[in-house]
Amino acid sequence: MSVAALVPAAGRGERLGGDVCKALREVRGEPLVVHAVRSLQASTDVALVVIAAPAGHVDRFEAVLGAAGSGSRGAGRLRPVWLVVSGAETRQGSVARALAALSCADDVEIVLVHDAARCLVPVEVVRRVVAAVRAGADAVVPVVPLVDTVKQVDGDQITATIDRDRLRQVQTPQGFRRDVLVRAYAAAGAHQAGDDAGLVERIGGNVRVVAGHAEAFKVTGPLDLLVADAVLRTRTP
Ligand code: CTP
Ligand code: MG
């Protein structure tokens, strides 16, 4: 079963700040989107990657991804099996556009959706997700346990302490049977789910979890860039 990955990378990165969009911010000399595509391509299962860039930035993204395919920098060249499309105002809209672009690849049966911002996801997570879809799940979500106690509040009053044993934090790549993801997006209409698997839950799909990884964290604020830099140092001999 052939695998494609969709990479929503069209966000502005308001919480990170800076004058370029988040996916073009660099860690150890390369943009987050390049790290993200390389992390996915570390799994040889991934035959095609479709990246949703901010509107008006498609050429720029093609240039940085092209440079990572021909240059010798970083942890290895990208394989030239990626395609950049123009993203949308919401993440869900950006994924929908990338999914529409998959119409050029009839043979793809498994689709991963992976945030560019989770640029350092270890290959073992990608492999676990693909394996669980192959084993029969409609959708697969990598998760990690919560580390902090969770409270429910009303203004400045605590109203409950939530039992966190059954709660999980959700990461990407999330994996899907292609036909299920297409149906879930078609059924979504104007409904905005928190994540792609949420759209499959809405249509009654079988959604499984597998173990995520601390290094699949999402670059959200400035501290995360420092962490990403440190993680990459540990990987470079
Ligand atoms: N994303 C997207 N299209 C959007 C918004 C987000 O493709 N309209 C992507 C981001 O580029 C990112 C992923 O969805 O890879 C997760 O979003 P998030 O971490 O929230 O990134 P941003 O929206 O860029 O950040 P912020 O919310 O701080 O502006
Ligand atoms: Mg956002």
Which tens digit of pLDDT belongs to each residue from 65-88? 999 987 545 567 888 889 999 999
In this model, does residue 143 exceed pLDDT 60? yes
Query: pTM for this one?
Result: 0.97
- Is the distance from CB of 171 to CB of 144 less than 8 angstroms? yes
Q: Does ligand 1 lie within 6 Å of residue 23's CB atom?
A: yes
Q: Does ligand 1 lie within 6 Å of residue 52's CB atom?
A: yes
Q: Which of 19, 115, 219 to mutate to test the pocket of ligand 1 (most atoms within 8 A of CB)?
A: 115
Which tens digit of pLDDT belongs to each residue from 54-63? 999 999 999 9
Q: What is the Cα Rg of the chain in Å?
A: 18
Which tens digit of pLDDT belongs to each residue from 89-137? 999 999 999 999 999 899 999 999 999 999 999 999 999 999 999 999 9
Q: How far apart are CA 30 and CA 36, in angstroms?
A: 10
Q: Domain map of the chain by residue range? A: 2-235
With the CA atoms of 31, 35, 40 and 41 taken in that order, what torsion angle do they form, in degrees rounded to the nearest 10? Answer: 100
Residue type, 72: S
3-state secondary structure of 40: helix
In this model, does residue 189 exceed pLDDT 70? yes
Q: Does ligand 1 lie within 6 Å of residue 22's CB atom?
A: yes
Q: How far is the CA of 11 from the centre of ligand 1 (A)?
A: 4
2-235 has which fold? Spore Coat Polysaccharide Biosynthesis Protein SpsA; Chain A (3.90.550)
